[in-house]
Structure 1
Amino acid sequence: MMEIYTVQQGDTLWRIANRLDADLAQLFLANGLTASSPLVPGQALAVPDRFFQYIVQEGDQLGTIAARLGVLAQALINANQLRNPASLFPGQVLFIPYRNHTVKQGETLYGIARTYGADMGAIMQANRLPGTALSAGQVLRIPAPRRPVKEVNAYTTGFGAAGTAEVYQLGPYFTYLSPFRHTFREDGSLTPLNDRSVLQAAEANGVLPLLILANFTSEGFSSDLAARLLRNEALQETLISNLLATIRQKGYRGVNFDFEYVYPEDRDRYTAFLRRVARRFRPEGLLVSTALAPKISGTQPGLLYEAHDYGAHGAIVDFVILMTYEWGWAGGRPRAIAPIPEVRRVLDYAVTVIPRNKIMMGAPLYGRDWRIPWRAGTTARTISPHEALSLAARYGADIRYHPTDQAPYFRYTDASGQQHEVWFEDARSMRAKINLLNEYGLRGISYWVLGNPFPENWVVQQALIQARKR
């Protein structure tokens, strides 16, 4: 089974690998480390499952990997839904569907199953065993533990070479890719987006692209822009026609409406607009979805929340993305970006009004660095998980893990004497989120946002769920 190891004072990666009986090279790759990478006390390391996960190394080819692991190459292709088996990337996490085990004298089926973290009944079924008796020298096929199949969405804002390369590399882990964003003008036309290369990368990995449409202007999300649309049915028809034309031209497979700060009085108009979109999109086999603010009740006050009718959206659209993050927002006090108790409160309400198989739970792939003591009007800096680790190493900070929020954090003092507090994501916090997804039986998970190096997350995801490919 995949493990997560918390670094202790004086640890080295070599000692950790020996202690855990882990492959040192695999440990480096799983955590994006190099020989010069410092380890920080409290840092969480993703330790790949030595039986059922393999991290692709430089120069690896699928055939040599399969031979080394003793599995069929086609079995690896099928288990990992590889569209182009000849193009593997260093750091790519492969799920191994089975391993072969030669029975030694005195071994029992129970003991073998425990060693591999496998189900004894599944081993018996895979090998058509009439009973539990084994013979020395007998070769058993050990099937990997079954993982729930979930849909996975990832937003991206990177449309250059680096962003495109990231989609090529991470595409095997996704069901959907959501390039952020298109918006619309007052005449119902769409603003352009230079998304061609990331759409090609998505297609190469069998990832369905979703067109994100937001009520966005140069000043941010606009309540007035949404109102102009929602209060004019003729304008809506024009916009929908333009959406369909763009989707057909670019090869999108559906639309996700990210309408934020909609006036409360436009709540029912937003619902009616979604019904109009669904009537036009469904005959063409296109998906309709929405992004929703994280509400804990149907009467929650506030401009961000009131126009988002959870029950109506759940009835109309194919799925919703709950934006269960940003409690630790850039303009607010230091805290976890997505504290588990807060996420639970949103899910507890959501599942009462939206079918579970229509809920995508949001998850952040970033952290924030606040100056403390915190003062109103200051803005935290958004950082990647690995940038957080670099800060902790540079300033000699030990990383702590909040047991309730289930998120890592630390404090440091910079060269100017300014104190900081950092909250971010690591392998432990992402495991907690994916476990929550499985516990609630939701449709899937939606990441905001690519562009932040976080290789540990994909090791965790591959161990706990299988991304659905449509």
Structure 2
Amino acid sequence: MNIHVVKKGESLQAISKRYGVNITQISTANQLKNPDTLVIGQALVIPSPGYEYIIQPGDNLWAIAQRFGTSVQAIAVANQLSNPIDISIGQVLFIPIHYHTVRPGESLWSIAQAYNVNPSDITEVNHIASPYTLYIGQVLRIPERTRPFKEVNAYITTLDASATENIHQLGRYFTYLAPFTYSIKEDGSLTELNDTAVIRAARSEHVSPLLVVTNFVNQNFNSDLAASLLRNQSVQDLLIQNLLSIMQEKGYNAVNFDFEYIYPEDRENYNSFLSRVVSQLHPQGFLVSTALAPKLTSEQKGILYEAHDYEAQGKIVDFIILMTYEWGWAGGRPWAIAPINEVKKVLDYAVTVIPRNKIMMGAPLYGRDWKIPWQEGTLAKTVSPQRAIQLAQKYGATIEYNTTYQSPFFRYTDENGQQHEVWFEDARSAQAKFDVVNNYRLRGISYWVLGTPFPQNWFVQENNFKARKLI
């Protein structure tokens, strides 16, 4: 895979020729609505020819296997396909056995870089005595690149038919699916959630359903509701029994407690509650996790942070999702949603008190469109990365990239003369996040929120690691 940033005057045809990749493959990989109109500064993922193949209309796995001289079973195993018949347009496939014909000007190093493998691996598998003895027309076998396994979670808030379709299309990329949300009640019961269809879809894709429990009421997190639970062991007992009943009945494999805005004085109560949950859920084979606010120190002040005890919870639960996003929140000033320099500050603290193999880094699948000059009290509009590109196309904007935040942005003026500033995600910002997950040796990544189109993300994720499957 390559990531290409469009320059002034470039066309998709010229980019295709440069990389030796079919135009249709590039267009499908990026789901370009109008391939003839590219935006200056737009990032494109470019499949590696012979190594990555993007499924086109009319394709089937048998024909693809024949084209690349491999088998259906080999492709299915390499891509973790639960059902080889069930493939979708735009899906990226890694070809486990592939070959490259040396072209003029190519070297062993450039070929290895194109396929993201070590030059020594190519020389070994092809029995090349010297890296300087390549010749034009020589056919080289390219070894399959080893990708590590990581756990991947995706929260989902829409539970209708479109959600189940989305799960079937993207399920191979996930370890967990987390329908949002079951909310606690003061008597220890839980609100209802119409999650049967998405759970069924998740399990059919070997994705473990993750039950989310919150103190979320009337579109807000409620501090008093959390206190009513954390200060009463009888209510806790009832909640745990209700939780077990729902998990067993519906087929959940794990639970995620997303209690926010907890009173600081309930910090130890929250830790004790989690210990009680673990003692009762572990014997039943269930995993227990929490979602925590992005802290920089153990003593960080503020009701969002103080009751979230990184060190204690790191010892108690199986894994922790750090909500490392929303710096650029809807009610704030224009900013990157998850500026990578700020994310790293959180992780630099977190890894000192939480085992790295218990940390899942939060990542956004969305962007925001602010009206500028920004005025306090105004709200930005949430946009998908695909929608952001469409806005840049429509208004003739040039996309810029902030290297400190590792995030793309642009400005435009609408039909009414109103100026806007848009921060969003693209292949570059996604790669920056996967680099952090890999470099910090974390358990994995957790997305908020499934349902906003961002096809590049899944292509880039697949190039970095495979999603571990637990069922």
Aligned match of 2:179: 179
Partner SS state of residue 45, structure 2: strand
Aligned match of 1:27: 26
**2:402 corresponds to 1:402:** yes
**Does the 8 Å CA contact 1:295/1:305 hold for their aligned counterparts?**
yes
Aligned match of 1:148: 148
User: Could you list the runs of 4 or more consecutive aligned residues of structure 1 that deviate by over 3 angstroms after TM superposition?
Assistant: 34-37, 100-104, 107-117, 120-127, 129-141
Q: Which runs of 5 or more residues in structure 2 are unaligned?
A: none
Aligned match of 2:386: 386
Alpha-carbon shift at residue 285 of structure 1 (Å): 1.3
Partner SS state of residue 368, structure 1: strand
**2:422 corresponds to 1:425:** no
Aligned match of 1:61: 60
Alpha-carbon shift at residue 395 of structure 1 (Å): 1.3
Aligned match of 2:4: 5
Aligned match of 1:264: 264
Please show how residues 11-160 of structure 1 align to structure 2 within 5 Å. Answer: 11-35=10-34, 38-100=37-99, 113=112, 116-123=115-122, 129=127, 141-160=141-160
Cα deviations across residues 302-350 of structure 1 (Å, max 9, x unaligned)? 1100000000111011100000000000011110000011001000000
Q: Provide the C-alpha distance between the structure 2 equivalents of 1:29 and 1:88, rounded to a whole number of angstroms.
A: 14
Alpha-carbon shift at residue 404 of structure 1 (Å): 0.7
Please show how residues 436-451 of structure 1 align to structure 2 within 5 Å. Answer: 436-451=436-451
Aligned residue type for 1:370: W
Q: Provide the C-alpha distance between the structure 1 equivalents of 2:83 and 2:401, rounded to a whole number of angstroms.
A: 39
**Does the 8 Å CA contact 2:27/2:35 hold for their aligned counterparts?**
no
Q: Provide the C-alpha distance between the structure 1 equivalents of 2:359 and 2:93, rounded to a whole number of angstroms.
A: 27
Aligned residue type for 2:27: F
**Does the 8 Å CA contact 1:408/1:423 hold for their aligned counterparts?**
yes
**Does the 8 Å CA contact 2:340/2:405 hold for their aligned counterparts?**
yes
Q: Which runs of 5 or more residues in structure 1 are unaligned?
A: none
Aligned residue type for 1:323: M
TM-score when normalising by structure 1: 0.94
- CA distance change for structure 1 residues 124 and 38 in 2, over 3 Å: closer, same or farther? closer
Alpha-carbon shift at residue 126 of structure 1 (Å): 5.2
Please show how residues 267-286 of structure 1 align to structure 2 within 5 Å. Answer: 267-286=267-286
Aligned match of 1:314: 314
Cα deviations across residues 328-383 of structure 1 (Å, max 9, x unaligned)? 00011110000011001000000000000000000000001111111111111111
**Does the 8 Å CA contact 2:108/2:134 hold for their aligned counterparts?**
no
Alpha-carbon shift at residue 187 of structure 1 (Å): 1.2
Alpha-carbon shift at residue 96 of structure 1 (Å): 2.0
TM-score when normalising by structure 2: 0.94
Alpha-carbon shift at residue 283 of structure 1 (Å): 0.8
Aligned match of 2:293: 293
**Does the 8 Å CA contact 2:175/2:467 hold for their aligned counterparts?**
yes
Aligned residue type for 1:93: V
**Does the 8 Å CA contact 2:371/2:421 hold for their aligned counterparts?**
yes
Partner SS state of residue 77, structure 1: helix
Aligned match of 1:228: 228
Aligned residue type for 1:8: K
**Does the 8 Å CA contact 2:176/2:210 hold for their aligned counterparts?**
yes
Alpha-carbon shift at residue 219 of structure 1 (Å): 4.4
Partner SS state of residue 449, structure 1: strand
Partner SS state of residue 210, structure 1: strand
Cα deviations across residues 39-98 of structure 1 (Å, max 9, x unaligned)? 111111111222322111112111111111222211111111111111001111112223
- CA distance change for structure 1 residues 114 and 289 in 2, over 3 Å: closer, same or farther? closer
The alignment covers a number of residue pairs equal to 468
Q: Provide the C-alpha distance between the structure 1 equivalents of 2:271 and 2:357, rounded to a whole number of angstroms.
A: 20
Q: Provide the C-alpha distance between the structure 2 equivalents of 1:14 and 1:108, rounded to a whole number of angstroms.
A: 24
Please show how residues 210-221 of structure 1 align to structure 2 within 5 Å. Answer: 210-221=210-221
Q: Provide the C-alpha distance between the structure 2 equivalents of 1:121 and 1:399, rounded to a whole number of angstroms.
A: 38
Partner SS state of residue 256, structure 2: strand
Q: Provide the C-alpha distance between the structure 1 equivalents of 2:267 and 2:281, rounded to a whole number of angstroms.
A: 21
**2:228 corresponds to 1:243:** no
Q: Which moved more, 1:5-14 or 1:216-225?
A: 5-14
Aligned match of 2:462: 462
Alpha-carbon shift at residue 176 of structure 1 (Å): 0.8
- CA distance change for structure 1 residues 145 and 416 in 2, over 3 Å: closer, same or farther? same
Partner SS state of residue 343, structure 1: helix
Partner SS state of residue 235, structure 1: helix
Q: Provide the C-alpha distance between the structure 2 equivalents of 1:464 and 1:135, rounded to a whole number of angstroms.
A: 29
Partner SS state of residue 307, structure 1: coil
Q: Provide the C-alpha distance between the structure 2 equivalents of 1:453 and 1:96, rounded to a whole number of angstroms.
A: 25
Q: Provide the C-alpha distance between the structure 2 equivalents of 1:272 and 1:72, rounded to a whole number of angstroms.
A: 53
Q: Provide the C-alpha distance between the structure 2 equivalents of 1:326 and 1:408, rounded to a whole number of angstroms.
A: 15
Q: Provide the C-alpha distance between the structure 2 equivalents of 1:74 and 1:171, rounded to a whole number of angstroms.
A: 19
